[in-house]
Structure 1
Amino acid sequence: MPFVTANGIAQHYELSGDGAKTIVFIHGIGSKLQTWETTTPQFAGFRHLVYDVRGMGESGHEPGPVSLSTWAADLDALMEALGIPKAIIAGHSMGGAIAQRFTIDFPHRVEGLLLFATSSRVGPALASGWLKRAEEAEAAGNGAMAATNRAVAGYRMDEGLKSVVAPTLILVGDKDPQTPPGGSVIMARCIPNAELEIYPGIGHNIYKDEPKSIERANGWLARFK
């Protein structure tokens, strides 16, 4: 899989599929682009861009803090380097938070927003857990993961989401312990005309565990073909 230097780091990515429109898939924390390998073929008629987020997989990182805005700028630079002016942005978990930040910061690049099991804010209890993980990663000598955990310990995008004009679909399971459906309800209320589906009995890995979520996403994506 190729690399390109964009926003000051080597970004590891893969382009596949055929179609006039591109879907960008953003993975969750501690994951890598291969997490999408059985999912992207289910979205026929589109090009698929998957990549390793800064500090994860095989993409590079720099010492010091990162933030959702850093990761959003990375994606902007990656799309620019690959000659992709605009895309449908899909994200899972942390990747969904990056997708939201990207849509707020770079609205001209977003045709649609597809969110799997994510949130627009972090509450005190979750923030405390992420900060504890950051300390553990730091103690283990993993500065990149420590910075990542700190980045997801504190964000709130509710106000910014009110400016989103791109069509948006939010998918979540009602048994998701990491991003409970209440967070998706908040996002749906903030984003004008957002569509929300909550799937009973489904946990955090909704795009892998609930085929109906892929069917729903494909139906929604038909408007872009």
Structure 2
Amino acid sequence: MEVKHPEWLQIQSDNQTLYGYNQEWYKTSFQRTRGCGPTAAAMLLLYLNKRVIESLPYQGHSIPAITKVLEDVWNFVTPGWLLGLNSTNKFCKGMEALLRHYRLAWRCHVLSIPMFRSSRPSLTKVVKFLEEGIASDCPIAFLNLHKGREIALESWHWIVLIALSYDAEQKRYIATCYDGGRLVTFDVGLWLETSSFGGGFVYITV
């Protein structure tokens, strides 16, 4: 299953397709090194903004237009100096402040993955959460504090999940994500089982 319009988060630039936005579009080096969280937040917001006839004052789909959105989102979804945006709760607190500012009653849905494996939700629960988000036509922000044995991922990083499929032969769930212009796939169960620090998932409904 997949969100209905993944192309809304794709950009054509220099005769190539970029999958998702890039934190490198921020102005300062501080923002560029810590900006993956607000970049993911901007992707969620701009996708929903297309669905609900531009409820947010964000216009255009060019890199310069998206860069303006990134700067606005940074004012609310603001990474810390040392650890960046290192929790789903901080992400949602910033998103809720932005939504209040623009007088929108959109809602954050959160599934946190604790550091201690014994406290983590089951793969079944994680898959159910992801399926509910995608079925609602909502991209899902994914915080990966440690990639574990999943080599396709980058630790301490936010990316955006747009699809989930089941590989019946290998009995695993494969997530498809956009990350800084790249298309990334990973095994959800392998990450859940082997990540040392966990992370979490967030989506927004209108």
Higher RCO, 1 vs 2 (CA within 8 Å, ≥6 residues apart): 2
**TM-score past 0.5 threshold:** no
Normalization by structure 2: what TM-score? 0.29
Larger proportion of strand: 2
Normalization by structure 1: what TM-score? 0.27
